[in-house]
């Protein structure tokens, strides 16, 4: 896969295509899910470690591997309408973070819809969109992985509901969570270190947008995507009943 538009945002001597590597091997590594959430949305190490029943040393070891500047682990999620959603651990010196990219099937216009840590941008997805993406997978284990992979870019005032918490509780248990699971699910849908939950709406042009101050999906934000890009993102994520 080519990340041409994404790569253009880095210095010429940064070979993004070669740095990005398949990160799927991490999904079965004990400590990955704790590391995934600690690196992005939560800072209570003791609590997150307890959720998956792991010690700090084990989780720290996974965090170190995920943040190795020699490789940028990437996790691809196929979208039912074509294209992919890709979670990239951007281990760029002095500007590390996790980017959430939408890559259309032609790979020509890779769009970043959210980034966590540092110069964060988000939220990048609404609750209906998250459900639409994860719901495209019939295997419960894969559906749980997809849900938890992309939930860190969630920010939606409608997500803090018993139904959402129940779905995330089940996903957490399927990925090995053993303690305070429902509390962790509640925090995922309602709390984020980077941004407040946003309100989502559909524009006259059919784009699904939000009012998050630092979201690329807010037409009024400083990092807003162009209108055609907002429509393309909305079509790919397919989260609204339009």
Name the one residue in this structure whose structure tokens are 């849900």: 147
pLDDT of residue 106: 67
Position 4 scores a pLDDT of 75
Give Cβ neighbours of residue 141 (< 8 Å, ≥ 6 apart). Answer: 174
Identify each DSSP E strand in the chain by its residue range: 20-22, 72-78, 84-90, 97-103, 111-116, 200-202, 208-210
Instruction: Retrieve residue 84's tokens.
Output: 């992919």
Phi-psi region of 62 (alpha: psi -120 to 50; beta: other; left: phi over 0): alpha
**Mean per-residue pLDDT over the chain, rounded:** 92
* Spans of the chain below 70 pLDDT: 1-2, 106-108, 239-242
- Beta-carbon contacts of 13 under 8 Å, excluding residues fewer than 6 positions away, are none
Q: What is the pLDDT of residue 107?
A: 62
Task: Report the alpha-carbon angle 168-133-216, nearest 5.
Answer: 100
């Amino acid at each position: 896969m080519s990340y041409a538009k994404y790569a253009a945002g880095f210095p010429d001597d940064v070979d993004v295509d070669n740095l990005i590597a398949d990160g799927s091997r991490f999904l079965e590594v004990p400590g990955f899910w704790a590391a995934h959430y600690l690196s992005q949305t939560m800072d209570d190490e003791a609590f997150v470690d307890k959720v998956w029943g792991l010690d700090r040393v084990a989780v720290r070891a996974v965090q170190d591997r995920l943040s190795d500047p020699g490789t940028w682990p990437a996790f691809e999620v196929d979208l039912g309408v074509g294209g992919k959603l890709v979670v990239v651990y951007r281990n760029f010196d002095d500007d590390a973070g996790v980017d959430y990219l939408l890559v259309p099937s032609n790979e020509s216009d890779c769009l970043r819809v959210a980034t966590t840590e540092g110069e964060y941008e988000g939220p990048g997805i609404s609750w209906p969109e998250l459900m639409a993406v994860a719901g495209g997978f019939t295997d419960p284990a894969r559906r749980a992985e997809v849900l938890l992979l992309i939930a860190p870019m969630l920010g939606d005032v409608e997500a803090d509901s018993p139904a959402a918490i129940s779905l995330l509780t089940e996903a957490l248990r399927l990925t090995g969570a053993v303690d305070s699971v429902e509390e962790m699910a509640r925090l995922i849908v309602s709390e984020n270190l980077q941004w407040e939950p946003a309100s989502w709406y559909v524009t006259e042009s059919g784009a699904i947008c939000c009012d998050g101050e630092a979201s690329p999906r807010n037409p009024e934000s400083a990092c807003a995507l162009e209108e055609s890009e907002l429509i393309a993102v909305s079509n790919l994520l397919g989260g609204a009943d339009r």
